[in-house]
Chains A and B, each alone.
Chain A
Amino acid sequence: DAGITQSPRHKVTETGTPVTLRCHQTENHRYMYWYRQDPGHGLRLIHYSYGVKDTDKGEVSDGYSVSRSKTEDFLLTLESATSSQTSVYFCAISEGTGGSGNTIYFGEGSWLTVV
């Protein structure tokens, strides 16, 4: 299994509060990704990072921000959580860009409930 640790694994929070999810990797991979998964929508890309301090938006980035101050950590922040952000969040990593046929590896997910 790829060395990916997500924290927290489960969290319940109230609407309007800030929430930060952490993804930590031990593989020294350059690329890191945050996805959310909801019934009927499959996995949707929120943000991704292609290096320290280098990030780009995915399909559903509104309401989310990310930061990557060091190679091993990629943080996803919900500035003011809403009920629509109740979801399962997956972190993923890859060694290189997909243009070279690199594969991505996923963490075990973080279950977030916003009440």
Chain B
Amino acid sequence: DAKTTQPPSMDCAEGRAANLPCNHSTISGNEYVYWYRQIHSQGPQYIIHGLKNNETNEMASLIITEDRKSSTLILPHATLRDTAVYYCIVNRAGTSGTYKYIFGTGTRLKVLA
């Protein structure tokens, strides 16, 4: 089963790029990498996901290494509102072809003014 490892906390200066790493060395070939964030006690918010290729959307970029054992979420210009807990997750096979989204403890990102 794929598991993820993230640093517990990071700081980033406002306006700078925030690079959040994630290790998923046991990922299988058909398992996607997802990133979510949670602000205060709100429900987690989807950011981005990918399988093999790098991905970009209006919120962030996802860089996945060629061997897929790690990835980096990039927030290009961090703002104070990006202060949150960021979760890197890998979906794992469950029953009858379904997949379970298993979260870890995440990285607490603090954006500093």
Residue positions of A touching B, CB distance < 8 A: 31, 33, 35, 40-45, 48, 50, 54, 56, 58-59, 88, 90, 92, 94, 97-99, 101, 103-109
Of the A-B pairs whose beta carbons lie under 8 Å apart in the complex, a sample of 13, sorted by A's number, is A42-B104, A42-B105, A45-B103, A48-B94, A54-B96, A56-B100, A88-B41, A90-B43, A97-B99, A98-B99, A104-B46, A106-B45, A108-B43
Q: How far, in Å, is A37 (CB) from chain B's closest CB? A: 8
Q: Which of B49, B87, B94, B103 contacts A103 (CB 8 A)?
A: B49
Query: Do A42 and B43 form a contact, CB below 8 Å, given A50-B96, A59-B102, A98-B99?
Result: no
**A-facing mask of B4-44, CB < 8 A → 1, else 0?**
00000000000000000000000000101010000001111
| Main secondary structure on B side of the interface with A | loop
- Residues on B with C-beta less than 8 A from A103 are 34, 46, 49
Inter-chain pairs besides A58-B100, A59-B102, 16 sampled, C-beta below 8 Å: A31-B98, A35-B103, A40-B105, A43-B44, A43-B103, A50-B94, A50-B96, A90-B44, A92-B43, A98-B100, A99-B93, A99-B99, A101-B49, A103-B49, A109-B42, A109-B43
Q: Quick one: which of A42, A104, A106 has the most chain B CB within 10 A?
A: A42
Determine chain A's interface SS by DSSP, over half rule: strand
A56 near B44: Cβ-Cβ < 8 Å = no
Cα of A103 to Cα of B51 in the assembled complex, Å: 13
- Bound together, the chains give a CA A107 to CA B95 distance in angstroms of 24
Nearest chain A residue, comparing its CB with the CB of B97: A97
B103 lies within 8 A of A101 (CB): no
Supposing A54-B96, A99-B97, A101-B32 touch, asked if A44 and B42 sit within 8 A by C-beta, the answer is: no
Q: Which of A33, A41, A54, A88 contacts B101 (CB 8 A)?
A: A33
Residue of A40, A44, A48, A88 with most partner-chain B CB within 10 A: A48
